[in-house]
Every structure is written in structure tokens, then in C-alpha cells.
Amino acid sequence: MPFEGFGSHGLHLPISRRQALMKSAAGFGSLALASLLTESPRAAPAAGSVDPLAPRAPHHPARAKRVIFLFMSGGPSQVDTFDFKPLLTRDNGNPLPFDKPKIQFNSTGNLLKSPWEFQQHGASGLWVSELFPNLARRVDDLCMVHSVYGTNPAHGGAVMKLHTGSDNFIRPSLGSWVSYGLGTENGNLPAFVTICPTLAFGGINNWSSAFLPAAYQGTPLGNASIASDQARVKYIANSRLSREMQRLQLDRLYALNREHQARTAIEDSLEARINSFELAFRMQSELPKIEDLSGESAATHALYGLDNPVTANFGRMCLMARRFAESGVRFIQVTHNDNKVQWDQHADLKDGHEKNAREVDLPIAGLLYDLKARGLLDDTLVWWGGEFGRTPTAEGNNGRDHNPDGFTMWLAGGGAKGGLRYGSTDDYGYFAAENKVHIHDLHATILDLLGLDHERLTYRYAGRDFRLTDVEGNVVRELYA
Amino acid sequence: MMIYVLLCAVLAADDPVRIQPPAAEQVRFFETSVRPVLVEHCVACHGPKKQWARLRLDSREALLRGGDTGAAVVPGKPDESLLIRAVQHTDDDLKMPKEGKLSDRQIADLVRWVETGVAFPETPTAGRPSRDPNHWAFQPPIDPPVPAVTNSDWPQSPVDRFILAKLEAAGLPPTEKADKRTLIRRVTFDLTGLPPTPAEIDAFLADSAADAYAKLVDRLLDSTAYGERWGRHWLDVARYADSNGLDENVAHGNAWRYRDYVVEAFNRDKPFDRFIVEQLAGDLLPAADEAQRHEQLIATGFISIGPKVLAEVNEPKMRMDIVDEQLDTVGRVFLAMTLGCARCHDHKFDPIGTDDYYGLAGIFKSTRTMDTYIKVAKWHENELPSAATTALRAEYEARLGAKRQAIADFVAEADKQVRANLGPEAEPAENLATLYPDATKADLTKHRDELTALEKSPPDYPAAMGVTDDQVIDVAIHVRGNPLKLGEVVPRHTPPVVRGAHISQFTPAESGRRQLALWLIDPEHPLTARVIVNRVWRWHFGKGLVRTIDNFGLLGEAPSHPELLDWLARQFVAGGWSFKTLHRLILNSSVYQQSSSPSAEIAARDPENRLFGRASVRRLDAEEVRDALLAVSGQLDATVGGSLLKVKNRGYLFDHTSIDLTDYTSRRRSLYLPVIRNNVYDLFQLLDFPDPAVPNGDRAMTTVAPQALLMLNSDLVMQSADDFAGRLFAEPGNDEQRLSRMYVFAYGREATPRERESGHAFLAQVDRALTATEPDAARRRRQSWNVLCQVVVAANEFIYIQ
């Protein structure tokens, strides 16, 4: 009897696929084949039939087909960006009139008003601070969730919780779960890419597939220490050999492998590995095409701020994200991180947040505009936020500490309701108060928008059915358009 | 989905009498979201022990019956259910639970539960098959007779008889023996992780003695490379890493000592029982001399090298997270059981309760792993005292003393000068230093800065990550795993479901690690020997006799050959827990020496090779791929032991800058490359190196396109190809001779005439393609060879072992 304990699959794939998924993982797409030669033909059916990344039908009709996650590393301050708190301004310098959380990262003093003015914008009248003048013009596309909360007040735990749903175990990341659930629409590209991710605070675990098959892991382009125009997939190009020469090599390799296969009489063959070279060769030409932005118009370059050194680095990531989205990549993450943990203003709030906002405001507004103009925003879910927010109380006299207890994230497109203001924090913006949305709830909601039921998207590992939301998670349907 | 909706509708119907088993989804929801809330917040006062208001909330009937104020729930009608009104604080005189309102989510879950019909399956108590204490793995191994077989020619060892008996029962003959070239390549990679050299192949082919193969096995077992290969297998299960990973990715600057200890243990064939005791309790063992003391201290690195959330702000949680990691590791490594589940609730499938979990947790809570828990927390290291260390310390302290004395002298002299200048009558100032001339002040500051610098940089006294005993305590059950919610204190104990081994007595004098180890190595322990012989079998054959290598629990798979598993376990223990004896037993068998090309009948009837009626083809592991590339290109540096980590102990491998401080340019064997959690060397990542944060005795085997990119474009492969070609050109000869040597080096065999022919043709083709860019014919020829060598090492024959 075949052992079903390991590869059991919430999507009810046929057994052969389950088994193949467990060991094969044919890379980015098309080919496949269980690679373990020692496995049976039953476990390794004909090439093509077990592609772990073939597009798959969702559990229920999807509102979004793909996700662009704009990760603001370090934790932007909700009370200085989107969560307007008049009482914080009024009571500036007074003590917080209620208890701070039992567990804090650092200790903070009295209330600190935002150095920035807020105004209402658009038909929806959502509040946006003067940090985001360009994004303010797109508020009617934004679905503001003011009552997000997490559990971990340190970067490491919070970043991992945000990406994987767990802050102390190694678990598959959200992008991997999405790739596992839906596959990809472009077999020549990875299903899940992450542009300039930070290598700290969990590093690769934030885009790894953990116990899911390797085909679902995220593919990084560079990392946060590399400028986005230098960010590449590892080993994607050959520094010495021409494409023509590599073609000669591949043809010779193909012949060698076929002869070997004939001699060893292994019926399952090393087909998967043979094909993987062909796919790699195609990827080699496909990926640089997406990374090459020279074909985009001057207007587009300006739209994303590529013509300005302040916005060019992040703008390029946003434009690449749009191009990946267009090409059928399922989950695209863009990370805004510099060598000081970008949004982590324990001190120097004024200059720090101003610099950070200036770098991302125009590119994000450009991305939303561009997606909409191309009709992509309808089925692309854009998700913005950091691993936590910041305290309304002061750290020093010009800083704010980590605050996982209440902060703002926003969604746009992909079935999220534009112009919505959902949930709230208390009068000072410290704790999520009304309609609280835990990170798990947000994960459940994102999966649900993609047509996946977070309770049914499971994978059996080490004797247990795991899921992204563990035993938590409520879908917040109030956010839907 | 539709079915789910319908079931919900059915269950929501207002019909309390209908007894219908709840749908699986309902049960799951109840077990994950409702029962925990009831157990944690309600049942203490409304359950088997107390029945306040004559109400119990521990069964569906009890809920429907209710208490003094009526039924607790009305299925389908949360608004009419007192339980819901109580938790929602709807009425002022009925607010539950007493200790504080439930979270919004918990309340919402209870509402949903009532809405959908109050599914309440019976408590999964012991005795249900899923927690069967009579499960095979918990019973001591039997001493099975070696079975009789019809084909008496084939078996060379008792192992073969166990295998053949099953094959014969299935009516299948075993596969014929592999040829000698295949055998030497297979067994050399298997035992050393390296390809056989042409000279070794020739010697084996030339040896026509009957015991040529047995001698080959002995030679390989005696080589240093054996420990480097098999030690690495152990490091997989020991979740070895040179950095912490998780949130604060700092260097385990001394972890390499544990790695070298493991390699040495395998090379010296340290008995496995001794190996276990040293790793769990080496610090508590007597030592004959300094070297043994060091070795035993280093061995306890096993307990300490797991990943830790070092910036966890909640200290009790950090402590228990570390204990949990250690406990779960010990469970998976030695017992092949997932004990971690029982941190929050009784194990769902295995008969391990939370009391068993906390009985073991006490052992590790009584063990000192950390020196501080304040972020960023610091792990403990045991100094390795020696005469050299003592001398080093004395020398350092002498330097400190000298510097302090020099400052005192300087101050005394400066004071004297000041006093002299002030004259004898002057009132002495409070602090004469304020009156020093500027130059003197500057000099003093300089001296003091030098002292501070010296104080801050003591010499690196040799130390090893490891543990020692802490205050010995028994631990209370943490309700739902919450360190702030403590239940009953549980005396330290080993899980009673594991039968056969004598029960250790835990005393207030010791943490209990030694007793835990002694329990594990009891010859009658049902798991320890079975688990390790199964691992060894897996590492030789690619699959275990129990295929779920790290899970022998109820969700694990039953053994395909239970008698063989028990026989091997018994032999292993009787043979003094010797790995090398076990290897000989397995490798000298006919089953190991079969060809990997099975008959059509075997292939069709046993496609998964469950009966071991042929050899399994295997892809080289990540380390083997790299080592083989370096070996055939003549670049492998065979230096043994030591550290290649470029970051100092506790320094950040990766901080917020994301700047990569790792360096993998060494030509040493892959075993010695630093294992950096969160950012494992990309070549290793691509080739299925296991996640070094968790024990793994069963590496995955994937084939993905990025692996092909690595072979096509990476510096390592390109450079190795060039070096390989260089090696072929280093000896005089023509292309024909080079082609011949290339095949011997790369594949351990001669090229066929057809391969020579196509090799020549390819070289000519590449040569033509290069003409435009490289006018020099000799250089062009050499480049053509680089291009060819890359193809040869990228080919399947290089990467797969028959």
C-alpha cells in the first residue's frame, strides 16, 4: 500500500501526483516527473503530468489571481501615515492614559504627536498624512485596515510571523502556500519571486517553502544590500560562454545523457534532469527580458520615479513587479529596506520617515496607476505594510518603538474594496480596538481573495496537516469590494 | 464546499435529539477552536471536578441539560444560548469566565460552534487506536530466527536471508550482482562521499581474490574520509549549524568542535551507546584525562546547537522555547517521535501526554544552555581547561595587572608633581587630576583607553558550545503551552509507554540528562537501536526498512521487514553498538551488491523497490557533487578539521544590512564549509541540503531548473571544468589519450569507441565556433576542452550512482 502520510494534499490531487510532488518538483514549471529514479512508474508518470507548478483551480471563485506584496521593512508608524489621531496631537507630551502592553521591546515615554499634518482625500475621504502626497491621490483604490495586530515585538519574530505565520518555527511562506495552491501561469518563470529581500530576521525562511516541495520556494532577485538594477536570479547568466556555445553544450549533454540512459536501462530515466536543462536555458532568456526595463516608455519611467535618484531604486522594483505580474508570476514581493532597517525609527523619526516615504510614495502611486490603466488591478492584489507599527509614545524625543499591538496595512485591487476604512485603534493609535485583524486573519483573507480556503489548504508533514494559519485565522469579508 | 454548507445546514437544524456524527470539518473546528477554550476557561469549574451552578460543560448532553439556570446552549441559536450570552457579557449578572472576558475570536468561534449545531465528539482518550500503547515500535525488539530460503547460493549474510525470504514469498528473484566498476564507485561514494581514483579502481579490478570486495570495504572504513561522510549523516540529524539562524543570525564560533568530535567518533568507531551518553551528558561523566574531559564537554554541543529566538522579549517563553527545541530534537533523533506536539495538548496520535512532555522538559529546564536570557540572549559555552589555557590566562592577567600598575604609578607620579607645584601649605584638592597639565591629562586618558581596550579583548580561551547542570527543578504543566498558565508540577520521568528499558530514577542532585541517556541505551529499549539501524539502512539504500525515518509513531509507516529490523537492532547492540560492524554486515551482503538494472518482472511487480530486489540509483548529495567536482579536477584540499568561519564567535553573519559575510571559496571538503542557517550555501540549497534548523534523517531529492543553471553557469562548475581540463593537459598526450583519461576520472570507466568519436567531433565543433574570437589554435583547443569538461561533469553519469 502506498504510504500516504507525507504527501497528503488539501487539494485532493490524485495519489500519483501527491507522491510525485513529494519528491520531484520539476523546477519552474513545465517539465516535471518524479525525479527519484528509484521510484515506480506509478509514482512517476509520464513527463508533464505531475508538474507541481501547473495552474490549478482554486477552491472557490477567485477575486485575485496574483499578489504584489510591498514590504516596508522595519515597521512604518501608523500614526504618522494613515491612522489619524487628533487626540494624540492634543495630548502631546502627556502620559498615555492607559497601560502599555505587558511586553515591550524598549521602554517609551509620553505621547508624541505626529510631526506631519493629515488631510482627507478623494471621494472616500480617507486620511493620509503629508508623507504620501502621491499615494493620497489614489486613496479611492486603497482598502485601509487600521486594526492589524500581531504578537511579536522584535523584528525577527514579527518578520517571520508576517511572512510565514509562525515566529518560532520554520514554516512555508505565504508565497509558497499560494504557489502550492494555485501553481503558476508561466512555466518559464518562477511562481514566486522576491525582489531585494532582506537577509536578516529569518532571511531565506521568509521565502522558503520549508516542508513544501522545493518547487514552491521563492526565487530571490538580489538582496537588500544590492541596488535593484544589479538584482539578478543567481546563476542566471554565464560570464564566459556565448549563448551559441551553451547551445552546443546542451546538445552534447543531451546526447551523453541519452546514451547513458540507454546503457543503464532505467525505465524511469533521468528525463526530469534532462528536461531541466532545457527549461533552465529558456529561463535564461526569459528572466532578463523582464528585468530589462529599457523597452518601457519615458513616461512609464517617470511614472515610477526612475528618472529621480531618490525614487529610482524602489521604483525599479515596482516596475519589475508589474512586469512579473503581467507575465503570470503568482506572488511577487518587493522589499523596501536599506542598511539601517528602513522604517525602524527608534530615533530620528522626522528625517527617517520623511526619507523613507519619499522613496516609496511616488513609485507605489505609479504602480497602482499603471496596474489600473492596464486592467491588471482588478485581479492583482496589492498589499502594503511592515512587520509591525510604532508606538504613539516617544522613544527619546524624536522616535517611536516597535508596536505589534495595533497598526495599519492596506490592500488595493484584487477584490479589495477601494476607499474603505476598516477597523480602528484606540484614541491614540496604540492598540487595535474595533474589528481587530490579526496577521493570521489577513493571511486567511488574502488566500480567500485568491480563491483558497485557508482551512483546506493543508500539507501533511511529520504526521500532521499543516496550514498557513495554523489553528487560527478568520476571513475578513468586510474588506471585499 | 457545497457538501460542507449542506452539512452545516443540517446540523444547525433545531433538533437536539437527532444523534448524527458531526462532519469532519465540524470536528476539526471543535477540536482546534472550541475544545481548547472550554478546557482552559470553563471546565475547571464546570466539569468532572467541580460543578458550579450544577453545570458541566464537558459533553454535548451536559451542555443541553444545563444547570441551575437552564440549558447552556440551544443548537443553532447563539442568541438564546446562556453560554454565549455569558461569554459575550450580554447580561450584567452573568459574565463568564470569571478571570476575564474571552478574546473576540474565541467568542466568535463559540458563536459559530453553537450556530452550526454544537458538534461535540467524545474526548479522544487513551485506548483509541490512534494512541495505541501496543503499537509495534513501543515493544522491545524480538530475537527473530534467520529465515530459511530456497535459493541457498545467493545469501552471503543473514541479512540476505531476510530479504530473500520476502522476495521468494513474492515469487521474485533478486537482481544479479553489479560489475566491479559499478561496485567500487557505489561503495566508495557511499562510505567516503568521494569518487574512487583511477588507481583505486585498477587495484580493485586487478584483485581477483574472493575477499577483494570485503577488503575494499575495510579499506574505506579505515579512511578518514569515512568519518567525514558518515559524521555528516549524523550532523543532519543533529541539526548542526555554524550560525543560530532564526531572528539573530549570529555565529556559532565554536560549533565546529562538535562537528570534528562527530567525525572523530565515527572514524574511531565510538560505540553508539557511548556516543549518546556523551552527547546528552558528557559534562557529567568522569574523565580519565584532559583530552577525554574536553571531548565529553564538546559532545554536549548536541544539546545546545539548535536555533534559538535570541531577541525574544518574553523570557519565560524563550526558556521554554529552547527546552522545547531540545526535547523535540531528542525525541526525533533517538526515538523518531514527535514529542513537540505534547507541549500544548496530549499528543493526538501517539500515547504521549502533556505530563510526559513536562516530565522530560524538567530535565532540560534543569540544564544550563544559556548564560543570559536578556535580548540578545547569550548561550553558554564550556571552557576547555588545559595547561595552555591556564598559561594564556595567567599571561593575560599579568598584562592587565601590569597595565593597572603602570596607571597607578603614573597617577602617583603626576599627583606628586601637582603637589610639588602647589607647595606644602596648599589645601589638597579633592581630585588632583583636574590640576594636571593638559599633556599629562592626555597621556592618562591614553593609558586608560589602552586598559579598557585590553579588558575588552581577553584572549579567545578555547571553549565549546555545550551545557552544564543548572538548578534542578521539576516543571509544571504549561496549560496550552503558555508559560504564564501553570498547572500541576510533574516529576521528571521518561514516557512510560516506551516499554522494556529500565526506568531511571531522577534525583534532586542532577538534571537527569545522564539518567535519560542511560534509559535510551538500555539494550531492551524498543526504539534507540531500531531507529539508528534504520537510519543506517536508509543511508546505504536510500530508503529505510521503516520509510518514515524520523517518525516511528502511529503516523509512521510500519516496517517492510520487521524481523530484519529487529535482527539488525539486536545484532547492533550485541556487537557493542559498533557502526563499522553494522556497515560490514550490510555492505558484504548480496542485497547491497545487486545491480540497479532490474529485470522487467521486478521493475513491474515491485516498482517502488519495497522488497529491495535491486539496487537503487541515487543522485549524489550536495556535498558529494561539490567534492567530486573538486576531486576530478584535482583541486580538493584534504585537510581535516578546524573552522572556516570568517566571522568571530557571536558575531552577525547577517544583520539588517543584508551584507553577505559568508565565504565558500575554500577547496576543503564540503563538510568543512560553514553551515549558515537562514542562508545555506546556495549550491547546497539547490541540491537538497536539509534545513539545518531541524533534525532530518531523510534528505529530499528534487530536480529543479535552478540546479541546471548552477551546472551551466556557476563559477564553481566553470572553474572545476577548467581545472579538470588543465589536469588532462598536465600529462603529455593527444586528444585521444585525454578523452580516455577524462572518462576514467569522471565516470570511473573507459570511453567507448563511439564516445571517443563524438568527443572528437564535439571538440572540432567548439573549435570552429571559437575561431572568430580566439585566433590562437593552441589556446582554442584548450578552451574547447574546458567546454567539453563542463558537459561531462554536468551529465547524469557524473551526478548519479548506479
Residue A429 in domain = yes
| Residue A85 phi, psi (nearest 5) | -130, 90
Query: Could you tell me if B333 and B279 are in contact, meaning their C-beta atoms sit under 8 angstroms apart?
Result: no
State the best of A147, A160, A234 to mutate against chain B, taking most chain B CBs within 10 Å.
A234
Contact B542 A38 (CB under 8 A): yes
Q: Is residue A44's pLDDT more than 80?
A: no
CB atoms within 10 A of CB B162: 26
Q: What is the model's pLDDT at position A25?
A: 35
Of residues A364 and A199, the one with the higher pLDDT is A364
Same domain as A244, residue A168: no
Say whether both A296 and A272 belong to one domain. Answer: no
Query: Which of B107, B130, B796 to mutate to test binding with chain A, by most A CBs within 10 Å of its CB?
Result: B796
* pTM score, whole prediction: 0.77
Residues A317 and A389 in one domain: yes
Q: Are residues A296 and A324 in the same domain?
A: yes
- Closest C-alpha among B292, B298, B311, B319 to residue B238: B298
pLDDT at residue number A448: 98
Q: Is the domain of A343 the same as that of A260?
A: no
Rounded percentage of chain B residues whose pLDDT exceeds 90 = 62
Nearest C-alpha in A relative to B182: A264
Task: Show the domain range for A296.
Answer: 66-235+284-479
Residue of B92 and A30 predicted with greater confidence:
B92
pLDDT digits (tens, 9 = 90+) for B633-668: 999 999 999 999 999 999 998 877 778 888 899 999
**Concatenated DSSP letters of B186-204:** HHHHHHHSSPPPHHHHHHH
Mean pLDDT, residues B165-179: 95
- Over pLDDT 90: what percentage of chain A? 65
Nearest to B332 by CA among B317, B312, B352: B352
Our measurement of the distance from residue B432's CA atom to the centroid of its chain's CA atoms, rounded to an integer in Å, reads 62
Q: CA-CA distance, B445 to B435, in Å (whole number)?
A: 14
> In the prediction, which pLDDT does B325 show?
95
Question: Strand locations in B150-295, DSSP E?
Answer: 249-250
pLDDT per position as a tens digit, B82-101: 999 889 888 878 888 877 78
Length of chain A: 481
Q: What average pLDDT score do residues A88-116 get?
A: 93
- Of B268, B685, B337, B340, the closest CA to residue B528 belongs to B337
pLDDT at B122: 67
Q: Do both A454 and A469 map to the same domain?
A: yes
Share of chain A above pLDDT 70, in %: 88
pLDDT band at B555 (very low <50, low <70, confident <90, very high): confident
Gap between the Cα atoms of B435 and B411, Å rounded: 12
The Cα–Cα gap between B186 and B180 comes to 10
Residues B258/B240, Cβ–Cβ less than 8 Å: yes
Distance (Å) of CA B696 to CA A184, B421, B535, B558, B594: 29, 76, 10, 19, 28
User: What is the number of structural domains in chain A?
Assistant: 2
Mean pLDDT, rounded, for B592-620: 89
Contact A440, A163 (CB under 8 A): no
CB–CB of B187/B226 below 8 Å?
A: no
Kindly list the residues from chain B whose CB atom is less than 8 angstroms away from the CB atom of residue A103.
Answer: 313-314
Residue B525 confidence (pLDDT) above 70? yes
- Report the residue from A59, A160, A344 with minimal CB separation from B1: A59
User: Nearest CA of chain B to the CA of A67: how many Å?
Assistant: 23
Any idea which of B62-66, B279-283, B379-383, B794-798 has the lowest mean pLDDT?
Answer: B62-66
A35 sits in which H/E element: none
Residue A192's H or E segment, with its range, is: strand A192-195
Grid coordinates belonging to B403 = 597595565
Q: Are residues A309 and A453 part of one domain?
A: yes
Residue closest to A276 by CA, chosen among A17, A20, A31:
A31
Facing B705 at nearest CB: one of A27, A204, A237: A27
Same domain, A254 and A326: no
Query: If you ran DSSP here, which 8-state letter would residue A334 be given?
Result: E
CB contact under 8 A, B702 and A24: yes
**A9 domain-assigned:** no
Which has the higher per-residue pLDDT, B14 or A316? A316
Q: How sure is the predictor about B22, in pLDDT bands with cuts at 50, 70 and 90?
A: low
Which residue matches cell numbers 518560532? A168
Please tell me whether residues A345 and A357 are part of one structural domain. yes
Instruction: Specify the pLDDT at position B123.
Output: 54
With a cut of 70, say whether residue A250 has pLDDT above it: yes
Check CB contact under 8 Å for B796 and A261: yes
- For residue B327, the distance in angstroms to the closest alpha carbon of chain A comes to 14
Q: Are residues A374 and A455 in the same domain?
A: yes
Residue B16 has pLDDT above 80, yes or no: no
**pLDDT value at residue A36:** 25
Q: Across A209-349, where does the E strand assignment appear?
A: 219-221, 331-336
Mean pLDDT of chain B: 89
Cell of B642: 578546524
Whether residue A371 is predicted with pLDDT greater than 60 in this model: the reply is yes
Closest-CA distance, B682 to chain A, in angstroms, reads 9
The pLDDT, as a whole number, for residue A39 is: 24
Q: What is the model's pLDDT at position B105?
A: 78
CATH number of the structural domain spanning residue A409: 3.40.720.10
Residues counted in chain B = 802
The pLDDT tens digits of the residues spanning B371-412 come to: 999 888 999 999 998 888 899 999 999 999 999 999 999 988
Same domain, A343 and A392: yes
Q: From the CA of B408, how many Å to the nearest CA of chain A?
A: 39
Residue A203 — left, alpha, or beta (φ > 0 → left; ψ -120 to 50 → alpha)?
Answer: left
Q: A320 with A372, same domain?
A: yes
Judged by CB atoms closer than 8 Å, whether chains meet at B713 and A237 is answered as yes
Q: How many CB atoms lie within 10 A of CB A262?
A: 10
For range B224-246, the mean pLDDT: 96
- B-facing residues of A in 454-473 (CB < 8 A) are 455, 462-464, 471-472
Say whether A344 sits in a helix, a strand or coil.
coil
pLDDT digits (tens, 9 = 90+) for B673-690: 999 998 889 899 889 898
Concatenating the DSSP letter of every residue in A181-241 gives HH--S-TTS-SEEEES--SSTTGGGGT--TTS-GGGS-EEES-TTS-GGG---TT-S-SSS
Residue B717 burial (CB count, 10 A): 22
Could B607 and A43 be called an inter-chain contact, meaning their C-beta atoms sit closer than 8 Å? yes
Neighbours of A397 (CB within 10 A): 10
For cell 508538474, what's the residue?
A: A51
For the cut 70, the answer to whether the pLDDT of residue B477 exceeds it is yes
Residue A5 within any structural domain of the chain: no
Nearest to B506 by CA among B359, B369, B365, B368: B359
Task: Calculate mean pLDDT across residues B722-735.
Answer: 95
Amino acid at A242: S
Per residue in A128-148, pLDDT (tens digit) is 999 999 999 999 999 999 999
What the block records as the C-alpha cell of B180 is: 566491479
For residue A28, the chain B residues in CB contact (below 8 A) are 704-706
d(CA B700, CA B786): 32
pLDDT at residue A38 in the model: 24
Summarised one tens digit per residue, pLDDT across range B417-436 is: 888 877 766 666 667 788 88
Residues of chain B found within 8 Å of residue A170, distances taken between Cβ atoms: 691, 693-694
A154 contacts chain B (CB < 8 A): yes
Q: Give, in order, the Cα–Cα distances in Å from B77 to each of B7, B20, B57, B112, B666.
A: 16, 19, 17, 10, 70
Residue A312 in domain: yes
> Do B679 and A199 count as a contact with CB atoms less than 8 A apart?
yes
Q: Phi then psi for B734, rounded to 5 degrees? A: -110, 180
Are the C-beta atoms of A91 and A428 separated by less than 8 Å?
Answer: yes
What local confidence, expressed as pLDDT, does residue B457 receive? Answer: 85
> Is pLDDT at A363 greater than 90 in this prediction?
yes
CA-based nearest residue to A180, from A378, A367, A17, A2: A17
The more confident residue out of B346 and B716 is B716
Q: DSSP code of B752?
A: P
Q: Is B118 helix (H, G, I), strand (E, B) or coil?
A: coil
Distance CA B254, CA B650 (A): 9
Calculate the dihedral angle through the C-alpha atoms of A90, A92, A93, A95, rounding to the nearest 10 degrees: 70
Residue B64: pLDDT band by 50, 70, 90 thresholds?
A: confident
| Domain-embedded: residue A10 | no
Asked whether the predicted pLDDT for residue A14 surpasses 80, the reply is: no
Place of cell 454535548: B60
Highest averaged pLDDT of the listed ranges A16-20, A201-205, A266-270: A201-205
Which segment of A63-67, A217-221, B59-63, B796-800 scores lowest on mean pLDDT?
B59-63
Tell me whether A335 touches chain B (CB under 8 Å): no
Q: Which residues of chain A have a CB within 8 Å of the CB of B795?
A: 253, 256-257, 260
Boundary of a domain, candidates A260, A281, A302:
A281
CA distances from B269 to B221, B265, B278, B641 (A): 9, 6, 14, 17
Is A276 part of the contact surface with chain B (CB cutoff 8 Å)?
yes
Per the CB < 8 A criterion, the answer to whether B581 and B222 are in contact is: no
Domain stops at, among A281, A297, A315 = A281
Is A27–B249 a contact, with Cβ atoms under 8 angstroms apart?
no
Cell of A31: 517539465
pLDDT at position B479: 86
- Chain centre distance of CA B173: 38
**pLDDT over threshold 80, residue A23:** no
Query: Within 10 Å of residue B130's Cβ, how many Cβ atoms?
Result: 15
Q: What is the mean pLDDT of residues A144-164?
A: 93
Give the separation between CA B593 and CA B184, rounded to whole angstroms.
10
Residue B769 has pLDDT above 90, yes or no: yes
* Residue in B703, B743, B766 to test binding to A, most A beta-carbons within 10 Å: B703
